[in-house]
């Protein structure tokens, strides 16, 4: 099943669909409004013609091209099925004969993607993300750190501890200290018992990975080039907790973060799932998630969450498929794609600007956004979109 063409007029779409029906060519007609604001046909109906049988695609394309050239030819407006005719019968001049009344049989219409049911795998990821967010909010620590004490917010939720990309020994030591001595112990360290003092000393001398970004800010680029990172990487993953490679994508920082990502998961994920086998769709999500998560971890350490790296991969994947295989019928207008790409690139430029401001002016202005996950996700989406392995399969 593939798209052979698009007609920007509903009446023409119905006429041609009826003609294909009379010719015995199995097809579906997908009708939806044109929502591309940059298009001169904005607001008009778009009709996509899907041919169900690959063996009939070649004939359907020939008839489609002839219809585009001669939409008023009586051959396309006959009320009864026509005998087989040579395609050369049509003259090169456009004929002005009025169309005949449509036949009683109606063409099959295919609902637009927004009206089609969501696949169970996309729905599953949506539900999991929402449930994990709810669990994080319900079982997080009720105590809060004083304003004058800089403590990692990571220590507040057992869900985060289990699913973040890494939970290094440094975090565990801080968590243990707060559990036994509270935040007050961090404010008044002089009154702490010897055991607490020893634990603080251990915390101060326990390195943990904070990312290339922090390393470049604090120690310059020389250590980066020499490979002198000064902290262990992948602490929990190296212990066998391999789910952490993907699980940060299922966590979200606040309700707006969750809502925005789940909205785009519905828009993008539903289309991809409709055109792939379940196994390949799951593989796509896993590859995009692991790649973007790992890139973000290497850049900034383990303090990041969100599905947006995968969403950026979906966005660029759909864009590539629209260019390479338009018959697959992915529906995402160019204005939406342009807006999202401008947003991603804009955030990357803002991150670069903040780095130079922090590096040379000692002013903290880094945006709390996983820009590396966005960029790396967009990159892996471009690569996966070029693989025939992830091309559309009708099942």
**Among residues 308, 338, 376, 394, which one is catalytic?**
308
Determine the length of the chain.
395
Is 252 tagged catalytic? no
Instruction: State the DSSP H helix or E strand holding residue 12, giving kind and residue range, or none if neither.
Output: helix 10-22
**N-term to C-term CA, the chain:** 10
Q: For residue 37, which of 339, 315, 325, 267 has the smallest C-alpha distance?
A: 339
How far, in Å, are 79, 106, 121, 216 from residue 102 at the CA level? 6, 9, 41, 71
User: What letter would DSSP give residue 92?
Assistant: S
2 - beta bridge partners?
Answer: 51
C-alpha separations of 64 from 10, 322, 341 in Å: 15, 20, 34
Q: How far apart are CA 103 and CA 81, in angstroms?
A: 10
Burial of 289 (0-12, 13-18, 19+ CB in 10 A): buried
Instruction: Give the C-alpha distances (Å, rounded to integers) separating 275 from 1, 113, 119, 155.
Output: 10, 11, 10, 41
366 contacts 354 by C-beta, under 8 angstroms: yes
Find the catalytic residue in 21, 77, 252, 374: 374
Cα radius of gyration rounded to whole Å, the chain:
29
Q: Is 45 annotated in the active site?
A: no
Report the catalytic residues.
308, 374
């Amino acid at each position: 099943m593939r798209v052979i063409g698009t007609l920007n007029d509903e009446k023409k779409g119905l006429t041609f669909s009826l003609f294909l029906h009379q010719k015995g060519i199995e097809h579906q007609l997908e009708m939806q409004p044109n929502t591309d604001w940059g298009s001169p046909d904005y607001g008009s109906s778009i009709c996509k013609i899907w041919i169900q049988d690959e063996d009939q695609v070649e004939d359907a394309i020939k008839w489609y091209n002839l219809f585009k050239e001669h939409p008023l030819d009586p051959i396309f407006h006959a009320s009864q099925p026509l005998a087989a005719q040579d395609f050369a019968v049509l003259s090169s001049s456009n004929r002005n004969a009025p169309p005949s009344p449509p036949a009683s049989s109606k063409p099959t219409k295919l609902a637009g993607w927004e009206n089609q049911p969501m696949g169970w795998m996309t729905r599953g990821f949506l539900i999991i993300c929402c449930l994990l967010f709810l669990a994080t909010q319900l079982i997080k620590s009720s105590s809060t750190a004083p304003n004058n004490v800089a403590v990692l917010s990571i220590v507040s939720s057992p869900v985060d501890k289990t699913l973040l990309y890494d939970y290094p020994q440094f975090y565990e030591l801080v968590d243990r200290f707060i559990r036994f001595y509270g935040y007050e112990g961090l404010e008044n360290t002089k009154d702490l018992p010897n055991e607490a003092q020893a634990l603080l000393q251990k915390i101060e001398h326990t390195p943990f990975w904070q990312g290339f970004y922090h390393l470049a800010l604090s120690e310059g680029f020389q250590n980066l080039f020499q490979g002198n990172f000064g902290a262990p990487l992948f602490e929990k993953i190296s212990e066998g907790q391999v789910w952490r490679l993907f699980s940060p994508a299922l966590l979200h920082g606040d309700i707006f973060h969750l809502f925005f990502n789940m909205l785009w998961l519905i828009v993008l994920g539903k289309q991809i799932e409709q055109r792939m086998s379940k196994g390949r769709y799951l593989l796509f999500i896993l590859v995009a998630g692991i790649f973007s998560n790992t890139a973000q971890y290497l850049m900034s350490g383990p303090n990041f969450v969100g599905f947006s790296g995968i969403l950026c991969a979906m966005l660029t994947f759909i864009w590539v498929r629209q260019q390479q295989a338009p018959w697959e019928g992915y529906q995402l207008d160019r204005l939406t794609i342009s807006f999202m790409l401008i947003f991603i690139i804009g955030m990357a430029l803002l991150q670069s600007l903040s780095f130079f401001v922090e590096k040379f002016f000692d002013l903290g202005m880094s945006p709390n956004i996983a820009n590396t996950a966005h960029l790396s996700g967009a990159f892996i989406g471009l690569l996966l979109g070029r693989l025939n392995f992830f091309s559309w399969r009708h099942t």
